[in-house]
Amino acid sequence: MPFYAQLKQLLIERLETEIEPGGRLPGEMALCEEYGVSRTVVRQALDELEADGRIVRRKGQGTFAAARKTDEALFQSLTGLYEDVRARGEVLRSRVLAFDVIPAPAEVAAALELKEGDQVVHLERLRYVGGEPWVLTRTYLPVDIAPGLLDEDFTEQSLYGVLEGKYGVELDHGRRLVEAVPAAAAIAEALGLRPRDPVLLLHSTAWDVTGRPVEFFIAYHRGDRSRFQVNLRRHRERQGALPNMLVHDDR
């Protein structure tokens, strides 16, 4: 793994075990000395943590652990952005930024029930609607789930459509976590935003009918172009818990 990715994982462990929400992280130079890495590595790791909503940077004050967020129990229809956009009569196009096989980082390995460092397919796309950048996605799949997938062109294809139609992957259910975070510089540049403009960050895992996790993705949606419509039902003890339905609606 690149040095910045290793440092990011070490800092995540500290944020989860040592540093309370609102607590201050060591300065950049202190991190350089502690971990024996360059300032560029430290800044890239901090950029990633900020993009993930794990830290907050305050000019002239320092870097602080972000407040931990409470998960909501939401059930979501398992559709992709391609299907959502097409259903509205619009066209979704993608610019493939990376499409290769890499060792699974810790977060990806945990989501896909693999060992850290196991090989996974990595697909990064900047996705456009009406010629405007809409969302940046980083998708990971086990290498054996769809042999030959690296030969596919995902400029205009649906990943779910290819998995189901060509490789016989029967997607069954998923879980998606949604939160608002400030856009790190690299994310903002890709989406045509200013640094620290709000983006909606999604973490998603999908399972097939056998219960195997087959996809994990992280997506950064433009906050000024996306919304998520939530349909709610009142929980009544006599009838048991009714699921909440989350419908993805990009505008």
Q: Is the model's pTM score more than 0.75?
A: no
- Mean pLDDT computed over 88-110: 87
Classify the C-alpha dihedral 152-155-156-159 as positive or negative: positive
Give the max Cα distance, the chain: 60
- What confidence score (pLDDT) does residue 73 get? 42
CA atoms within 13 A on the CB side of 26: 13
Pick the residue with more confidence: 166 or 78? Answer: 166
Mean pLDDT value across the chain: 84
Tens digit of each residue's pLDDT (9 = 90 or more) over 114-135: 999 999 999 999 998 878 898 9
Q: Which residues pair with 15 in a beta bridge?
A: none
Query: Residue 48 has what DSSP assignment?
Result: H
CA atoms within 13 A on the CB side of 190: 24
Tens digit of each residue's pLDDT (9 = 90 or more) over 19-71: 998 899 999 999 999 999 999 999 999 999 998 888 998 888 999 998 776 54
Show the domains of the chain with their CATH numbers: 3-65 (1.10.10.10), 75-250 (3.40.1410.10)
Alpha carbon separation from 37 to 5, 7, 40 (Å, rounded): 12, 9, 8
- What confidence score (pLDDT) does residue 130 get? 77
For residues 106 and 9, the answer to whether their CB atoms sit within 8 Å is yes
Least confident of 17-26, 94-103, 112-121, 219-228: 219-228
